[in-house]
A and B are shown apart, each in its own frame.
Chain A
Amino acid sequence: MLDAAFAAFLQIATDPFAIGLCLIGVVIGTALGALPGISSTMSLAVLLPFSFGMSLEHAMVFLLAVFTASVYGGSVSAILINIPGTPGAIVTQMDGYPMGRKGRAGEALTYALLASTLGGLLGWCLLVIFAPLVAQAALAFQSPEYAAITVFGLAMLAYASPGSTFLALIAGMIGLLLATIGLDTTTDVARFTFGTDGLQAGLGIIPAAVGIFGIAEVLKGLERGAKKLQPVTRIGRLLPPWREAAPLWPLGLRGSVIGAFVGAIPAAGSAIAVTVAYALEKRLSKTPEKFGTGCPEGVVAPESANNAGVGGALIPMITLGIPGDSMTAVLIGALLIHGLRPGPTMFAQHIDFVGIVYVALAFAIVATLVVGMLGNRLFARIVNAPRAVLLSGVTLLCIVGSFAVRNSFFDVIVMTGFGVLGYLMNRIGMPTAPVIFGLVLGPILEENVRRSMIIYNDWTVFLTRPISLTVLIIAIVALAYPLIQDAMRRRPSP
């Protein structure tokens, strides 16, 4: 294995074309990831045909660079304009955007970038050292376990949201209910579509997120009136003070471990990983009340988890030939076109290719760091734009981004609706992120609960399977803990 990796390293490091492709891929990936509405998957699919003419090595270098950079790029727009460029960045913005509003946008971007790099590297280590082991463990996750871990993710989210846990739970419920709109994936029957064509496809996650975060923020800006639309005059410095940043590395490490493992479970998705990482740090923090108001911890934890997921998602691909998520599905498409069919024999028969994946991913992580450091100086200036221009620009991005997802005007209407909903929710102090997580996790939860019932025909299956039971117990304890704590506190002290 080491030989193969070393050979691949020499091959790529001494090939100026490969290095150039890596840098170009990172620049394009960061830009596409930062654009609302263009997910990592879409970036990869659109750039896929460019790789047809390349050699397999070059194709992997290029596509992995796009993949890695687009995951980081998603946090750029989250921090600067409160729109998650990719769904994985939704949690990053809970603290990233407030940091920017405090004049610390530059620092927030750097925190996100460093956390991304740390997460990326840890995910990489997991990929290189434990790939076959993790792949086997991931197969232990079946429908009941998916259902349980989704419940766990929702519980963590209620806890992670700033403000009242009760309101967050209600917001999550709204999201779960909205997620039932469209064709039922189990029976193919239309639900809550009122006979319309547009609703058959369900409410798109990206249009909803772009509206509820982006447009809602624009509406809030309008409410304050034209006179008060003053620009944030300081972009702040780029490098955070060492004294603040240094103690955060264990936090980033924990986030990375969570991200890498959850990312390796096929289809679990980054949404759960970032939520769990954020909730864990809020729990461990001595000042949990600071989360949600713009603290660096709230950027570092989810961002490291988000990027660690890249290495994690590649594990099922190179060990079993199964895509861990929609991004790796596109990568597998690229391999097929180059005549390489990923499967369980990858390590035995294509060890040279495995080496290339390892090295290409490492280069992509480093290149993202370098390009990001240079780019952040530029990105951070966005908040310097006059508020009126910025808000108009954001509105334009929201419209284009929500249209781009499915090339559908209906999604623009959905986006606008969610913008109004988000504005109203902000007015009554209800967190909006749980709505989006409800939309993301609702279908996963429903599908897996119903599938478990079809297979086992017995609801106790969630309690008799050890992993499922453990996860559910942790979820309940996490939800009930604040209540218990309150009760303990109220007990009169002697």
Chain B
Amino acid sequence: MLQRSKTILATLTAAVLAGAFAAPAALADDHDFPSQPVTLIVPWSPGGGSDTSMRLVAEAAEAHLGQPVVVVNRPGAGGAEGTRAIASAEADGYTIGMVGSGVIARHYGNPNANDYGDLQPIVFFGADPGALTANPSTGFKSVSDFVDAAKAEPGSVTNGNDQPGGSSYISISVLENELGVEVTKVPYEGFAPTVAALLAGEVMTATVPVPDVIEHHKNGDLVLLGVTDTSRHFLASDVPTFQEQGFDIVIGSWRMLVAPQGVPQERLEKLEQALIATLSDAAFVERANAAGFGVNPMGIDDTTAFLKAFDDTLYPVLKASDLVKVRDRN
């Protein structure tokens, strides 16, 4: 008995020592990167769109990275919790994460949230254009109908969206700003309850993405009035864009993969290449599209430029909607 526990102890010690020596060795030699599994932090709960899309990425990335990718959910505080976990992770390339367009709103709105400059973009995953959907009982057939009703009596149109700072809240705020209208914004936690409320007629319109309402639109239970993109949505070719209807508005939500600042250049490039290859994989794209995710891979430089441009577009809207509370620009 004693003998056995001694053997176990010795084995454990050896294992710990081996681990202690192995870790710096892995750090020193970038040619072997990655030599251990890569952690992918998702700042949202299991089961949502962000989680599903990233589990798809994680599964497909193994073949291109040569190591498994493990999804770790760090939900909380509208994504601020997980973003913090990414930004403060060790910058060795073994921890990466996903952030969505909400990272900009939190940058200006939540004093505890990270500056988005704490994150190093790796690849752009894809964008979901915003959309405006109405309950048929409103009689709205086009974006103009919505604008007319909202102008006739400000605040009379109720719109279902998420809480301030969420992507569908940003969508309706942009619409209010650009169309010069005022609606009553009704917050729901997540897109599913928003769609349920729209179906039940509790709210008149909602600004949830196309995949969440497309089946109801086809069935005539809901009417998609328009999408805020430069081209029509791949799931809804019968629905005109806002631009086609004479309103030049392009806004959507997006997801990108990021790392903490300070990851060695060589590793960052390896991650970039492997993830671009993953996101360009035909089988992956087919699966992601079927699940309603548009995939539009971009590398480090384009993604960084995109983030900056999105900030420039969104800042005035956030300012107008009273959502700039910290890190104000001068």
* Residues in A lying within 8 Å of B, measured CB to CB: 41-42, 44-46, 48-49, 52, 139-140, 142-143, 182-188, 190, 193, 195-197, 200-202, 266-267, 316, 320-323, 326-327, 329-330, 333, 336-339, 341-345, 406-408, 447, 451, 454-455
Contacts and interface: CB of A to CB of B under 8 A. Distances in A.
B58 interface: yes
Given A45-B51, A187-B163, A343 B218 contact: yes
Interface residues of B, number: 54
B81 interface: yes
B80 A41 contact: no
A341 B112 contact: no
B219 A344 contact: yes
Contacts of B163: 183-188
B133 to A, nearest CB: 13
Contacts of A202: 76
B200 A139 contact: yes
Contact of B73 (A142, A323, A406): A406
B76 A406 contact: yes
B77 A183 contact: yes
Interface in B21-63: 45-48, 51-52, 55-56, 58-59
B195 to A, nearest CB: 6
A341 B165 contact: no
A322 B192 contact: yes
B77 A343 contact: no
A333 B52 CA distance: 7
Contact of A336 (B72, B203, B221, B290): B290
A344 B216 contact: yes
Contacts of A326: 45, 47
Contacts of A344: 215-216, 219, 221
A345 B218 contact: yes
A330 B203 CA distance: 26
22 contacts: A41-B46, A48-B55, A49-B58, A52-B287, A139-B199, A139-B200, A183-B163, A185-B189, A186-B187, A187-B164, A200-B110, A201-B75, A266-B193, A320-B196, A333-B47, A336-B211, A337-B287, A338-B290, A343-B214, A343-B215, A406-B81, A454-B187
B315 interface: no
A451 B215 CA distance: 26
Contacts of A45: 46-47, 51, 55, 73
B185 to A, nearest CB: 8
Contact of A49 (B47, B55, B72): B55
Contact of A408 (B46, B81, B211): B81
A197 to B, nearest CB: 5
B112 A200 contact: yes
Contact of A455 (B59, B203, B287): B203
Nearest to A52: B59
| Interface pairs A-B: 6 shortest CB-CB | A343-B215, A201-B76, A45-B46, A200-B77, A336-B291, A330-B47
A447 B218 CA distance: 31
